[in-house]
Amino acid sequence: MTEPDANPFEPADSHFASVPTPDVWLDERGARCPAPVIALARAAFTRPAGTVVAVMAIDPAAGTDIPAWCRLKGAEYLGELPPRDGGEGMAYVVRTGAAE
C-alpha cells in the first residue's frame, strides 16, 4: 500500500471523482498477470462485502481481467482512475461482493 500523498491515482477532489473513494489501495505496479488479480482476491476475501478496493497496475491484462474477475466473483466493477501525473498504469476500482 502507498501513502495517500504519494498516490498518483488518488483523485485531487474526491467530491468530483468518477468512482467512489477507495477504502483500500493495492500497489501491483511491479507485478505481472495474474498477480494483480490474486492480490485483489486476497484483499476482497479478508474484508467485508461492499469494500471499495483500488488495484494499481501497469500490466495490460489487468484492464480486462479485473472486470472479468468481478463478473466471475459477483463483485461490482466501478471504473478506472488514470494517474494524475501522466505516469504509467491505471487504478482499477472494485466494490467487493459477498466474501467467499
Partner 1 sequence: MTTEGRRASDLLSAARSSLASSLGGVPDGLHLAAGGGHAVAEGLVGLLEGMWAAGQAPPALVVSSVDHSAALRVARWWRSLGHPVHTVNVDSVGSFDAAEVVELALGSGPSVVCVQLANGEVGTLQPAQDVLAQLAGTESFTLLDATACAGRIPLPSGWSALAADATSWCGPRGVGVLLTSTSSPWRVREPALEPELAVAPMVAAAAALEQVLASREVDNAHSFGLVARLRRELPLLVDDLDVPGDPDSRLPHVLTVSALYADGESIVRRLDDLGLAVGSGSACANDSGEPSHVLAAMGALTGGNVRLVLPVTAADPALDQAVDQFLLTFPDVVRSVRTMMGAP
Q: Which residues participate in catalysis according to the annotation?
A: 33
- Name the residue type at position 19: V
| Binding-site member from 28, 57, 65, 78 for partner 1 (CB under 8 A) | 65
- Name the residue type at position 22: P
Nearest to partner 1 of 32, 84 (CB atom): 32
For 50, left (φ over 0), alpha (ψ -120 to 50), or beta?
left
Distance between CA atoms of residues 82 and 48, nearest Å: 26
Is residue 30 close enough to count as binding partner 1 by CB under 8 A? no
| Binding-site member from 48, 68, 87, 98 for partner 1 (CB under 8 A) | 68
Nearest to partner 1 of 10, 65 (CB atom): 65
Is residue 71 close enough to count as binding partner 1 by CB under 8 A? yes
All 3 cell numbers of residue 37?
A: 488479480
